[in-house]
A and B are shown apart, each in its own frame.
Chain A
């Protein structure tokens, strides 16, 4: 190779590093996908479900809406589903991370702090979170919260077995991975009196096809794993 060739190759190499396309992370389809069905026709104690989650995960109760931390929280049905359906009677429904099959948050995370497990759970690895909040911008459901302040003073019912979070990390629902991996059902499901049904999607196909069910913003193509049976 002469000097001219060397310079040509080096030049192309340099330019290509500048223009290297930022490829999205490969997001594989889940092998066996977990899902949550929420039957909103049966009245149930939503507050008990939310409290169970807050307690299990040491979620702080911060009043300031700018600093609020939410894993599962109540919304008006019409605010969530107005584009899809009109409900004659106003009701409150719980909303949470949808653990999308095609999660935009996972695509944008620069450190792979958020990733999708084989069972479809979109996990947060707090040890890797650098607090850039790209995931919050990417999530169409507002399911992620940023710790602007130290959450510890605001934690009410504490669970000494679960780690807290700290100022500067993003957090969200983990589908109770820590409980599932120990063969327990998610904290919110337990007090729901059968209104929340959790399991593998493949095993709940009948329930879904026999009922009218909604998912949030289906046209975005994220394919949520949380179904609302109405």
Chain B
């Protein structure tokens, strides 16, 4: 079989393929670095992997309990006592800037909680 315009088609295909492949190759060479989170002391409310995926659900549960149901009693998880509070519990172990913000900006989420829960008045 004869191919017409071989001199144009083959380079054209090559250019097309390289444009398509560029983002994938770029990421192979330059893996976007996962954020390095500040280390925390003590024991988190749940296991690390669970927290990674579910921390916002825990906060929502606490919030519903505290604000809407008046259930402010501290909770015990594996024998450790936690107060159901974003500012008084999570932020005691985790710094907002070096922990929450770092991961959130990497993941492109912007929780609006900080408008009120930053613990700062400025």
The answer to whether B87 touches A160 (Cβ under 8 A) is: yes
Is residue B6 within 8 Å, beta carbon to beta carbon, of the partner chain?
no
The answer to whether A115 touches B121 (Cβ under 8 A) is: no
Q: Mark A173-191, 1 if CB is under 8 A from B, else 0.
A: 0000110011000000000
Minimal beta-carbon separation of A145 from chain B (angstroms): 15
The answer to whether A177 touches B70 (Cβ under 8 A) is: yes
Residue from B63, B72, B118, B122 within 8 A of A127 (CB atoms)? B63
Q: A160-B87, A161-B87, A166-B115 are in contact. Are A181 and B122 (CB under 8 A)?
A: no
A118 to B72 Cα, complex, angstroms: 15
A153 to B122 Cα, complex, angstroms: 5
Q: List the B side residues contacting A123 at CB < 8 Å.
A: 67-68
Q: A58-B121, A127-B63, A152-B121 are in contact. Are A163 and B116 (CB under 8 A)?
A: yes
Q: List the B side residues contacting A158 at CB < 8 Å.
A: 121
A153 to B63 Cα, complex, angstroms: 26
A125 to B116 Cα, complex, angstroms: 13
Range for the number of chain A residues in contact with chain B: 20 to 34
Provide the main secondary structure of the chain A interface: loop
The answer to whether B68 touches A166 (Cβ under 8 A) is: no
Is residue A165 within 8 Å, beta carbon to beta carbon, of the partner chain?
yes
Is residue A117 within 8 Å, beta carbon to beta carbon, of the partner chain?
yes
The 3 closest A-B pairs by CB, nearest first: A155-B121, A166-B115, A158-B121
**B interface with A by C-beta (< 8 Å):** 63, 66-68, 70, 72, 85-88, 115-122
Q: A152-B120, A181-B72 are in contact. List 17 more A-B contacts (CB 8 A).
A: A58-B121, A119-B70, A123-B67, A123-B68, A152-B122, A153-B122, A155-B121, A160-B119, A160-B120, A161-B119, A163-B87, A164-B115, A164-B116, A165-B116, A177-B70, A178-B72, A182-B72
